[in-house]
Structures are given as structure tokens and as C-alpha cells.
A and B are shown apart, each in its own frame.
Chain A
């Protein structure tokens, strides 16, 4: 029984981790190129909504994912162009985008589906879960990979892809340089704005995936503000990891675990309001512990 309990817990952890992981990888890329992306939450919410729209009207989960990708890409344009060509303030733009995402999806929920709160319908086709029988017999891997969506597998692969991109390719080198000293990068002929625009837009695709996973991955449903702080948690993971994709993934694993354990605790009778705070409490603890070795110190001078 306890064995089963832990297996289910692990599976739940991995499921909960996927959207956070995708968002934090996007956050890592943006942070590396010098755009502090606080709009992850809003981007993911837009992705979740349009995944449901695409799946409902397109008649397939794939259509849902495609709709999510396109929608988030468009939604991210103000951030990509606003922080570069238009020289807007990054933080204001992100706050506006988050507010817009929340209001827009609630509004469209009413306009498109005529409901408020939550929309679920058998016509929303979920993303298939892969059940690979050949992996079934390998002890740990079999259990962990059982019944996960392709997006989850992709998200794991993306940890490596993002790391490779950042630390092995010329693009990654320039991207990091642009984030650290835009003036120096510009002086060496690297187009800072172009790198930022491409990175912010490219990373927005990860949020499209994250949103689709959220609304089509485990349940086929969209409810208002269903991201429930996952984008912010992902941002915390970026900061804890100091924009390192591997550490960010580790932080996401931790947050996925706290999410899963919250659900477990509910099943033994703790009120969900209490268990919902678990990831935030852990986040706070980690931040406080982390700040002890942080390089930022208040000094008199």
C-alpha cells in the first residue's frame, strides 16, 4: 500500500511539474537575454484557454495545442516589442499582460462558450497519455513514464535542449551576453533587440505548451484563473536557480512534489485551503534559506 502510495505520488509530482517546468524554462531563457518575464502566469492562462478552444472546435488535441501556441505567441508580442523597440517598462507590461490574460479569458469564456467559472464538455478532446508497454517492465522508468502526455516527455527533453542552447551554441553565448551587458554585446555587432524579440517570442511557445498541458493534459476543462499561481512559482524557480535550466528543473521538481503532496493531504482530510498553501510555504522557506548565501547584501555603502 505504501509502495503504491509513493508511486502515485511520484506520478502526480511529474504531472504537476510539467506546466511549471515549461514556464520556468521559458523564464530562464528570458532572464538570460535580459528580460525579466513576469508575465508567465498570464501567458500560461491564455495558452490553457485557447487549447480548450482549439480542441473543442478543431476536434483534436493537436488542434488545441496548435491554437494555444499561436494564441500565446500573439499575446506575447506586446512584451517582445514593448521591451525592445518601444522601450517600454518591462514590469508594467508584464503586470498589464497578467491582468489582461485573466480578464480576457474570463470574458471570452462567456462569449465563446456562454458559461462562467468552468467549462467542461465531452467535445474537448484531451491530450493522449502515452502508455508504452515496452517500458512497463523497466522498474522505475516504467512507472514514472506511465500515462504521461507527450508534452511532459517533451518538457524533459527541453531541459537538455535549453541547457545545450545556452551553454554550447554561439546563439546561447550571445544570448547570455545580451542579458548581461547589452551595451557590450551591441558594440560587438550583436543586435540586442533582435535577440530579445526572438527569445521572448520563442520562449512563449513553451508557455503555449504549458497551458495546453494544464487544460488538456490531466482534465479536459478550462476554469477561470486555472493557472493558480503556477507561472509565479515558475518565476520563483528561475530566481532560485539563478537562471540555470538544470537547477530550475530541480526547483520545479520540488514544487511539483509539494503540489502533489497537497492533494495527498487533502485526501486524508486536511482542508484544501490549507494544503493549497504548501508550495508557497516551501517557496518562502527556500527563499529565506537561499538568501543567506545570496550575493545581494545590504551594506552601508
Chain B
């Protein structure tokens, strides 16, 4: 019997860039097939070709043995392909069932037959245990449920092959587990799944086979049962990557950042941060661990100057900066790598060189009489692009063309070259590939060795543990623990993250709450390699 999907010799060029250089891929019926590769390896291009979004320059696609041409997503849908994008394409104001039947509504006379539609959706949801309330407004749903709606949309259109593009990037661990169950139910029904992901552990857990891409070509085809993390990583990166970080001892210097009794109030008056205190010394990385939404973003924004604080002091090398503007703080020596690189960290339509001087454009070396010295700016940008290994056509290319990892390198380059005493790194490696993670970690450690003070926030506990000299745990807006990294373990921090006591009495802790039964938060963010 012919394979569900068979792709031969797909080539796609964008100008000089070869995004796909003769890709072959075979997906059998009833199989979960993992697609791995670093950012820019050509996965997205391949998926877009399979879904009819872009047309290949060469190559053929067969579905169940029959040659097809997919000229549009609609073509792909008609041929039994379904895709769940990372950014959902749902109508927030419409109900779940309306979203699902949209464009293929059952009708009774002139009217949309809501009863039939609801029943059809409920039946599908039941069959694949995708529990949703069919009448809920999509705008009110959590990310995990929205994703189920997207999957149901594809199933309602009778998708036999489902492409899931980084589906777990937006999910909580429990939702990710539920998704894995759904995927198994779908393949048990004879469908096939193309599972695109960065996360090694997931791909090894749920897939049957893995195709690894590198530089636009397939670098390995692996049987999941007979492979290992190392083998996958080597195929992805082209060399062995060690994410075990050597953190050499650095003598810590003076206090650089000193925050006392800081509180931040939200629009509705509730406290996002209460009575937080922390210090960061020169040559030290202080990590803030916390489950998203516990006040770490607000704390960082208050220090960076993006958010007003309600009380307390923020001192940089002894100078109170709490009342200063963002620009003034930056001039005094605060660098900030924001969580949201695309909207806060960069100006998408501006070029790489413009982005790389953003915030320093008034410096003597870049301007004279208020107009930019183009040559110097370009020269500076080109040096940083080389030093930080940003894969970009040239310094004048707008940065919104860059992949996540490369865009992050632009932000990191600009902020680290700032020569600031304090570096705030907020989720510096979120959504970037393994090679870029390794690079950014190395850079942060180099800055530490140069005697800079680094405040690191991450949702990845493994990242916090690997990089930090000291670890603060934030829970419900309070810093509930302050541990030297040698006293920290995943178990202990995990318990603290969920509001537990961390077994040992934490140092400098605020009032602790009774351990809440928040489930499995300790393994929450430990899924990544």
C-alpha cells in the first residue's frame, strides 16, 4: 500500500537562498512523524509547500500514491491535509462550533443549522477525546483549548494528514500530555501526523520516526525507538553539542543592582509584585525562577523602567534609578534583553543596522549634528553581525525577515555591546534553536567573566540552574527563596515554584503559603534538554 504522503526532490529557492535543496520525505499511514531541525533548516518552507502556501521550484508530492499539485491551502484541505499553525487562525468573537464549520456550514433553508453543526462537532470531539464546550466563545478559551479547536477544524474537513507546527510551544505540560494522547488517538484511527518541534524529549516520546533537516536538506532519517538524543542533536547541528555548561568561578565584585521593598500594582489595584528585594553583584548571574504570571515580568519591567512601581527603591551602583526614564536608565548602565524580541526588542521593518544602534543613535560615534553617519553605523552593524553569527543577507535587511534565533542574536548583540553594568536577560533563549541557545549561554557567561551583573529570568528551570550563581524563586509576586546555586536542585526549586516550602526553610523568604496542590509544576518546565 502506498504511503500516506510521499515527497520527492522538493527544491525551493528564495533568491540566492536555497530553503529546500531536494527534500525527500515519506510518511506512512497511522504514523506520528517528527520533523526536527534548527531555525532556518527549511522545515517551515517544507510545511508551507505541503500545505499549498508556497509552490516548490521542483519536486513532486504524492498522497496515497497519487500525484497532486497543491496550489493553495484550500487545495491541500481538499486533498485531506490539515495544518495547525503555531499562531492560531481562529475567530475570537465566534463560538467554537462556528469556527469549526466556518465555510462549510450545514444549512436548513436560509439559516445555519446550528443543531446539526453542534452535533457534528461534539461527535468529532468525543471520538478523539478533544474535550471542548462547543458553544464557548473562542476568545474566552485557553491556548490549549484553542489548539483543540484548530485540530477539530482540520478533522471536520476530513484531514487524513495533520501537520502540527510546534504545537507544544504554547502549551502547559499537562496540555502537552493531553495533546500527545490526542495524537495517538488520531493515528490509531489511521491518520498520519507530521509533528514539527524543537523539543527533543517530546519528539522522542511521541513519534514513530523522525526526519531531521539541516541547511535545507534531510540530514537523517531515524527510527525513534532506535535513536538517542545525541544522535538527533548531531544530525540537527552537524556536530555534538554540549548543553552542559561549564561555569568557571568568578570573583564577585561590588553590588550593582539593589532592589528594596519593591512593589508593583496592576491597573486593577492588585499587586503583581510585593515587597521584593534583591541584589546582583558584579560578576554574578542571579536567576529568577517562577511559573509564568507570578510577577517576574512586572518586576523586570519595573527595573528596566517600562512599568511604574508603587513603592520601594531600585539602585544602580548606589544611584536611585526608580524615577528615571528608560533612556536615562540605559545611559546609566542598564541593558535589557526583553522577553518579546519581536515587538519590544526590535523594530521589525527597520534594518539590522538600525536595530543594532537603537538606543545609542545619539552617541558621538554614530551621529553628527543629528544626522546618522551611515558608514560608521553600517561598519558597526557588520562587525556585530559577524561577531554574533547573525545569519542575515546584509546589514540593511529588515529584521522581520529573520528567524527567531537570529532575531534574538540581534537583540543580544545590541544589548551586550552596550557595555552596561547590569544586563537583564528575560527569557533569552525562548523559542530559539539549540545552536543559538548554546551561543547565547556562552555569551552571557563571557559577560559574567567580564564583571557584569546579570539578572536572568527564565521559565526553563534547567537554564536557571545551569547559569545562575544564585537563584531567587518568585511566587505570587513575592520572592520566597534566595539560594546559592549549589544548594538548589530541581526538586527543591520545583516545590518552591508551586508555593511549597522547598523542604528546607528558605533564606530571606517572605511569608510562605501552605503548599498548594498545584499539580506537577516542578516538572513543568524541565522538558527541554
B98 A173 Cβ-Cβ under 8 A: yes
Max chain A Cβ within 10 angstroms of own Cβ: one of B111, B306, B307: B111
A187 at the interface (CB under 8 A from B): yes
B308 A300 Cβ-Cβ under 8 A: yes
A189 B77 Cβ-Cβ under 8 A: yes
B110 at the interface (CB under 8 A from A): yes
Instruction: Using A169-B112, A189-B103 as known contacts, say yes or no to A181 and B90 having CB atoms under 8 A apart.
Output: yes
C-alpha gap A278/B497 in the complex (Å) = 59
Give the residues from 263 to 317 in chain B that come closer than 8 angstroms, CB to CB, to chain A: 267, 301, 306-308
B74 at the interface (CB under 8 A from A): yes
A230 at the interface (CB under 8 A from B): no
Instruction: Using A180-B92, A187-B89, A189-B103 as known contacts, say yes or no to A173 and B112 having CB atoms under 8 A apart.
Output: yes
B350 at the interface (CB under 8 A from A): no
B93 at the interface (CB under 8 A from A): yes
Min CB distance, B408 to chain A, in Å?
Answer: 19
Q: Which of A168, A170, A183 makes the CB contact (< 8 A) with B89?
A: A183
Give the residues from 144 to 200 in chain A that come closer than 8 angstroms, CB to CB, to chain B: 168-170, 173-174, 176-177, 180-181, 183-185, 187-190
A176 B94 Cβ-Cβ under 8 A: yes
A184 B105 Cβ-Cβ under 8 A: no
B306 A301 Cβ-Cβ under 8 A: yes
Residue of A nearest to B107 (CB): A170
Residue of A nearest to B73 (CB): A187
Residues of B within 8 A of A297 (CB): 267
Q: Which of B92, B103, B112, B308 makes the CB contact (< 8 A) with A185?
A: B103
A180 B91 Cβ-Cβ under 8 A: yes
Q: Which of A188, A299, A300 makes the CB contact (< 8 A) with B102?
A: A188
A300 B112 Cβ-Cβ under 8 A: no
Min CB distance, A62 to chain B, in Å?
Answer: 28
Residues of A within 8 A of B306 (CB): 300-301
Min CB distance, A166 to chain B, in Å?
Answer: 11
A299 B267 Cβ-Cβ under 8 A: yes
Residue of A nearest to B74 (CB): A189
Min CB distance, B144 to chain A, in Å?
Answer: 19
Residue of A nearest to B53 (CB): A187
A174 B103 Cβ-Cβ under 8 A: yes
Q: Which of B92, B102, B110, B267 makes the CB contact (< 8 A) with A169?
A: B110
Min CB distance, B39 to chain A, in Å?
Answer: 23
Residues of A within 8 A of B91 (CB): 176-177, 180-181, 184
A173 B93 Cβ-Cβ under 8 A: no
C-alpha gap A301/B98 in the complex (Å) = 32
B107 A184 Cβ-Cβ under 8 A: no
B112 A168 Cβ-Cβ under 8 A: yes
Residue of B nearest to A297 (CB): B267
Instruction: Using A173-B98, A300-B307, A301-B301 as known contacts, say yes or no to A184 and B93 having CB atoms under 8 A apart.
Output: no
Residues of B within 8 A of A187 (CB): 73-74, 89
Give the residues from 56 to 83 in chain B that come closer than 8 angstroms, CB to CB, to chain A: 73-74, 77
Give the residues from 158 to 204 in chain B that come closer than 8 angstroms, CB to CB, to chain A: none
C-alpha gap A188/B101 in the complex (Å) = 10
C-alpha gap A190/B105 in the complex (Å) = 12
Q: Which of B89, B105, B153 makes the CB contact (< 8 A) with A181?
A: B89
A184 B90 Cβ-Cβ under 8 A: yes
C-alpha gap A174/B105 in the complex (Å) = 10
Residues of B within 8 A of A301 (CB): 301, 306-307, 344
Residues of A within 8 A of B307 (CB): 300-301
Residues of B within 8 A of A173 (CB): 94, 98, 102, 105, 112
A174 B89 Cβ-Cβ under 8 A: no
Min CB distance, B486 to chain A, in Å?
Answer: 36
Residue of B nearest to A172 (CB): B112
C-alpha gap A168/B113 in the complex (Å) = 9
Mark contacts of A278-299 with chain B using CB atoms, 8 A cut-off: 1 yes-contact digit, 0 otherwise: 0000000000000000000101
C-alpha gap A153/B93 in the complex (Å) = 32
Min CB distance, B118 to chain A, in Å?
Answer: 14
C-alpha gap A259/B94 in the complex (Å) = 36
Instruction: Using A176-B91, A299-B267, A301-B307 as known contacts, say yes or no to A169 and B301 having CB atoms under 8 A apart.
Output: no
Instruction: Using A189-B74, A189-B77, A300-B308 as known contacts, say yes or no to A177 and B111 having CB atoms under 8 A apart.
Output: no
C-alpha gap A299/B268 in the complex (Å) = 12
Residues of A within 8 A of B344 (CB): 301
Residues of A within 8 A of B110 (CB): 168-169
B94 A177 Cβ-Cβ under 8 A: yes
Q: Give me 7 other A-B pairs in contact (C-beta within 8 A), A168-B112, A301-B344 excluded.
A: A170-B112, A173-B112, A181-B89, A181-B90, A184-B91, A185-B103, A300-B307
12 pairs, A vs B, C-beta closer than 8 Å? A168-B110, A168-B112, A177-B102, A180-B92, A180-B93, A183-B89, A184-B90, A188-B74, A188-B153, A297-B267, A300-B306, A300-B308
Closest 7 CB pairs of A and B: A184-B89, A188-B103, A170-B105, A189-B74, A180-B91, A168-B111, A187-B73
